[in-house]
């Protein structure tokens, strides 16, 4: 229980979350602004996503060389990697080392959930309730994670299951699938990774698939020390390219429309990308318009469908695995996803055709009356993305307005960073931030927030807040840009369509990191247009 009479601990700034975002923000507030800042995380360790997602097969699908911080050239030179992609233990080890390298650990309170944030008009400060204690600070930076609030489906009988139920985003330490009968619900980015890993170790794996997925090879494998040295020698150019690019994945996006080349050439380009590996490369590096033009999208989708037919031996399994809708969810890549279904221990159940009726103590019952007996039920059912963690807290801004009230029709922001009525609350990866490889976008936002706080302090302004008009304008901009793409037409977390009852709305700025950085630079150069510094 919170002791409301005990005086709140005074801080200059509170950071909520100790993942990529929170760690870097804590660093800049302390080191660059000299503020007494403290971070809180409900997890027992730092790392955010990479603390929680310990499921077998968990890894980044951004390549190792750009799934990291770029703010410190020495850090870039000092850290090694030996595979094209980083697995969860490698990313967690990296983030742990970063925390120690910059002396941040003593300023991070773990096992401490921030449950309430309340704005006090009289003092111009926020009071946070964290772990039952109160903390007061002028600034709050929320780095709550955009894929962090787990989505647990309401399946009848789930709580009666006698075995282990594990959501991938809250994976119990030490839970292994070796030799077990495993049921897996969900075949998104996470579920497909679980399939690849679990198929090799489980006694039996039953995959309950709601939507078939387009997955391309990741091309993962070892990289040589010479390769790593060569990357390090080019890091200045690499980051310059990343920061000016659209998806920030470390490759040049194509400028060639798919239909501008003959069919044979198109297939050659797709085949080259298939052999090269990486999901974002396949969608954005092959042709310029796969995510925006129906014909281009069909061509890419047809190519992948053809691959599924080639790879999967059983025609009925291949049929079920073949998507018929748009190729417009977050693009996936895996080492051997479709191949896994050729293994004798892997079974596919299309729950669109044969729905799950209930979970019993022994396993999962489907509409055809079959009880799929299992030991472990893995829920790879994704996240209440972007605003999920905000709505799980009590956040009260000016005039007692809650964030839930403010975001009644869906989450909004100015620049993905601030929202009207919630002064001095800065969001990392808030709604309508960039849709990219995330560390470079996180760094962009943290740097902007840090400069904005510095400017406010230099001007003697107690509060920083966007105008409602600026927020409306940014929301309209994000809607307009998303409208040029095919993404809103596919049902996924990107637009909130994966959560029953959640308003289906635009939640990302889809013009890319280069354009986003341009907007932020202009806003700053023009004296922080759209913000009120008072």
Interacting residue ranges for ligand FAD, rule: CB under 6 A? 16-22, 40-43, 48-49, 51, 53, 58, 60-62, 67, 113-114, 143-145, 147-148, 169, 190, 389, 393, 428-429, 437-438, 442
CB nearer to ligand FAD: pick between 169 and 410: 169
Residues in the chain: 534
One of 134, 243, 330, 392 touching ligand NA7 (CB under 6 A): 330
Least CB distance to ligand FAD at residue 202 (A): 19
Residues 266, 268, 270, 274: what is their CA dihedral angle, to the nearest 10 degrees?
180
Nearest-angstrom CA–CA distance, 64 and 66: 6
Query: What are the angstrom distances between the C-alpha of 427 and each of 222, 361, 533?
Result: 36, 42, 17
Strands 13-16 and 37-40 turn out to be: parallel
Q: Which does residue 187 bind out of ligand FAD, ligand NA7, none, counting CB within 5 to 8 angstroms by kind? A: ligand NA7
Work out the angle at residue 440's Cα, subtended by the Cα atoms of residues 438 and 445, and round it to the nearest 5 degrees.
90
Q: Which does residue 199 bind out of ligand FAD, ligand NA7, none, counting CB within 5 to 8 angstroms by kind? A: none
The contact mask relative to ligand NA7 for 186-215 (x = CB under 6 A, - = no) is xxxxxx------------------xx----
68: helix, strand or coil: coil
Nearest-angstrom CA–CA distance, 359 and 128: 39
Least CB distance to ligand NA7 at residue 378 (A): 11
Name, in order, each residue with C-beta under 8 angstroms of 112's C-beta and a sequence gap of 6 or more: 40, 41, 42, 130, 131
Q: Which does residue 22 bind out of ligand NA7, ligand FAD, none, counting CB within 5 to 8 angstroms by kind? A: ligand FAD
Contact present, 43 and 99 (Cβ < 8 Å): no
Least CB distance to ligand NA7 at residue 401 (A): 30
Contact present, 68 and 242 (Cβ < 8 Å): no
Least CB distance to ligand NA7 at residue 186 (A): 3
CB nearer to ligand NA7: pick between 361 and 500: 500
Q: Which does residue 445 bind out of ligand NA7, ligand FAD, none, counting CB within 5 to 8 angstroms by kind? A: none
Least CB distance to ligand NA7 at residue 285 (A): 18
Nearest-angstrom CA–CA distance, 359 and 112: 33
Least CB distance to ligand NA7 at residue 413 (A): 20
Size of the site for ligand NA7 (CB under 6 A): 19
Q: Which does residue 58 bind out of ligand NA7, ligand FAD, none, counting CB within 5 to 8 angstroms by kind? A: ligand FAD
Contact present, 169 and 52 (Cβ < 8 Å): yes
Nearest-angstrom CA–CA distance, 418 and 421: 9
Ramachandran bin of 327, using left for φ above 0, alpha for ψ from -120 to 50, beta for the remaining angles: beta
Q: Which does residue 493 bind out of ligand FAD, ligand NA7, none, counting CB within 5 to 8 angstroms by kind? A: ligand NA7
Phi and psi, residue 232, nearest 5° = -60, -35
CB nearer to ligand FAD: pick between 258 and 403: 403
Which residue of this chain has its Cβ atom nearest to ligand NA7 in the complex? 188
Position 184 contacts ligand NA7 (CB under 6 A): no
Least CB distance to ligand NA7 at residue 210 (A): 4
Neighbours of 370 (CB within 10 A): 13
Least CB distance to ligand NA7 at residue 350 (A): 11
CB nearer to ligand FAD: pick between 143 and 356: 143
Least CB distance to ligand NA7 at residue 147 (A): 4
Q: Which does residue 330 bind out of ligand FAD, ligand NA7, none, counting CB within 5 to 8 angstroms by kind? A: ligand NA7
The contact mask relative to ligand NA7 for 340-359 (x = CB under 6 A, - = no) is -----------x--------
Q: Which does residue 43 bind out of ligand NA7, ligand FAD, none, counting CB within 5 to 8 angstroms by kind? A: ligand FAD
CB nearer to ligand NA7: pick between 147 and 453: 147
Q: What is the 3-state secondary structure (H, E, C) of 90-152?
A: HHHHHHHHHHHHCCCHHHEECCCCEEEEEEECCCCEEEEEECCEEEEECEEEECCCCCCCECC
Q: Which does residue 188 bind out of ligand NA7, ligand FAD, none, counting CB within 5 to 8 angstroms by kind? A: ligand NA7
Long-range contacts of 6-12 (CB under 8 A, 24+ apart): 6/133, 6/134, 8/127, 8/134, 8/135, 8/136, 9/133, 9/134, 9/135, 9/136, 10/135, 10/136, 10/137, 11/36, 11/37, 11/38, 11/135, 11/136, 11/137, 12/36, 12/37, 12/137, 12/138, 12/139
**Contacts with ligand NA7, residue ranges (CB under 6 A):** 147, 153, 185-191, 210-211, 330, 351, 380-383, 493, 498
């Amino acid at each position: 229980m919170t002791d409301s009479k005990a005086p709140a601990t005074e801080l200059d700034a509170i950071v909520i979350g100790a993942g990529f975002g929170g760690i870097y923000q804590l660093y800049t507030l302390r080191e660059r602004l000299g503020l007494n800042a403290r971070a809180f995380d409900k997890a027992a360790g730092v790392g955010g996503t990479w603390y929680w997602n310990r499921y077998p097969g968990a890894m980044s699908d951004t390549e190792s060389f750009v799934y990291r911080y770029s703010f410190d050239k020495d850090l870039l030179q000092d850290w090694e990697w030996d595979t094209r992609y980083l697995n969860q233990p490698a990313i967690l080890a990296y983030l742990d080392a970063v925390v120690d390298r910059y002396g941040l650990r003593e300023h991070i309170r773990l096992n401490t959930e921030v449950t309430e944030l309340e704005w006090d008009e009289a003092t111009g400060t926020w009071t946070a309730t964290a772990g039952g204690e109160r903390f007061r600070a002028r600034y709050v930076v929320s780095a709550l994670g955009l894929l962090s609030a787990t989505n647990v489906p309401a399946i009848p009988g789930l709580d009666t299951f006698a075995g282990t139920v594990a959501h991938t985003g809250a994976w119990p330490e030490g839970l292994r699938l070796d030799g077990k009968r495993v049921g897996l619900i969900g075949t998104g980015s996470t579920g497909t990774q679980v399939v690849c890993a679990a198929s090799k170790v489980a006694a039996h794996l039953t995959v309950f698939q709601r939507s078939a997925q387009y997955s391309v090879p990741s091309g993962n494998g070892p990289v040589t020390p010479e390769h790593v040295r060569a990357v390090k020698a080019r890091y200045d150019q690499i980051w310059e390219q990343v920061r000016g690019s659209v998806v920030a994945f470390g490759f040049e996006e194509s400028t060639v429309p798919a239909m501008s080349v003959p069919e044979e050439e198109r297939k050659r380009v797709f085949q080259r990308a298939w052999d090269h590996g990486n999901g974002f490369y396949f969608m954005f590096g092959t042709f310029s318009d796969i995510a925006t033009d129906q014909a281009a999208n069909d061509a890419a989708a047809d190519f992948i469908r053809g691959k599924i037919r080639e790879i999967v031996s059983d025609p009925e399994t291949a049929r079920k695995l073949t998507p018929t809708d748009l190729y417009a969810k977050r693009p996936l890549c895996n080492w051997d996803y479709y191949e896994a279904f050729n293994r004798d221990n892997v079974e596919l159940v299309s729950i669109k055709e044969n729905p799950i009726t209930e979970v019993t103590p022994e396993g999962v019952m489907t509409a055809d009356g079959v009880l799929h007996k299992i030991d472990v039920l893995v829920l790879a059912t994704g996240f209440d993305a972007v605003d999920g963690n905000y709505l799980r807290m009590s956040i009260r801004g000016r005039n007692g307005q809650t964030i839930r009230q403010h975001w009644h029709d869906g989450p909004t922001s100015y620049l993905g960073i601030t929202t009207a009525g919630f002064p001095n609350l800065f969001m990392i990866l808030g709604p309508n931030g960039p849709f990219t490889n995330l560390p470079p976008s996180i760094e962009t936002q943290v740097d902007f927030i840090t400069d904005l706080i510095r400017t406010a302090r230099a001007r003697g302004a107690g509060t920083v807040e966007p105008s409602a008009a600026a927020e409306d304008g940014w929301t309209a901009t994000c809607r307009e840009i998303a409208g040029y793409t095919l993404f809103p037409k596919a049902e996924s977390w990107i637009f909130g369509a994966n959560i029953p009852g959640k308003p289906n709305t635009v939640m990302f700025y889809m013009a890319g990191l280069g354009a986003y950085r341009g907007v932020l630079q202009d806003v700053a150069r023009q004296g922080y247009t759209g913000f009120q510094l008072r």
